[in-house]
Chain A
């Protein structure tokens, strides 16, 4: 089974609204990462949060990590059409390997 489970599987919002995606995992981790994938392209790294961090910001992105609940959330503020993509969380629960979730498909409507 997947280590990371994203929720929701799909999300559709209006441009300018905020988008929140969640990720849950099963075992202890050193860090958790979020990636974006535009349709038919490779993944692009967005942000890495370590197990001793609770919150991290990068531009319009805010990531939180709750190790007691084994969950993370990615918030994209003031969404834009260019944010339309799939978003994946990845954990390093297995040594030297990342385990990816199934992803959240985000659609930003103009």
Chain B
């Protein structure tokens, strides 16, 4: 099955703790994205990567970090600097190129603070 997987489905973070959300795709897509979704709201872009070993900040990058060491993987770390991390996190991927085409989304990770 081709697609995007995210793990875990639920993640609990203690105060001052860094946590890492996993995102893996086997679609051979070059570009990958991380979004944050708050209840009843749209998606806000955290980070994106168009190619291995390169990534750019989105609109709300503060308190987050990413890496892109492999084409298939784009993990997101929520650091202790992110003071309000409770949200639904979505990873997406697409073929790279000019205009943005269809994005394929993973099932999401819900992050809760203990």
Interface residues of A (CB under 8 A from B): 2, 4, 30-31, 33, 35, 40-45, 48, 88, 90, 92, 96-103, 105
Contact = CB atoms under 8 A, between A and B. Distances in A.
Contacts of B104: 45
A88 B105 contact: no
Given A40-B108, A42-B108, A45-B103, A97 B48 contact: yes
23 contacts: A30-B100, A31-B99, A31-B100, A31-B101, A40-B88, A42-B6, A42-B105, A42-B108, A43-B90, A43-B103, A43-B105, A88-B43, A92-B100, A96-B48, A97-B58, A98-B100, A98-B103, A100-B43, A100-B44, A101-B42, A102-B41, A103-B41, A105-B40
Contacts of A99: 45
Interface in B34-52: 35, 40-45, 48, 50
A31 B98 CA distance: 11
Given A42-B108, A43-B90, A97 B45 contact: yes
B108 A41 contact: yes
B1 to A, nearest CB: 15
B63 interface: no
Contacts of B102: 33, 45, 48
The interface centre, meaning the residue of A33, A90, A100, A101 with most chain B CB atoms within 10 A of its CB, is A100
B21 interface: no
B41 A96 contact: no
A40 B100 CA distance: 25
Nearest to A2: B42
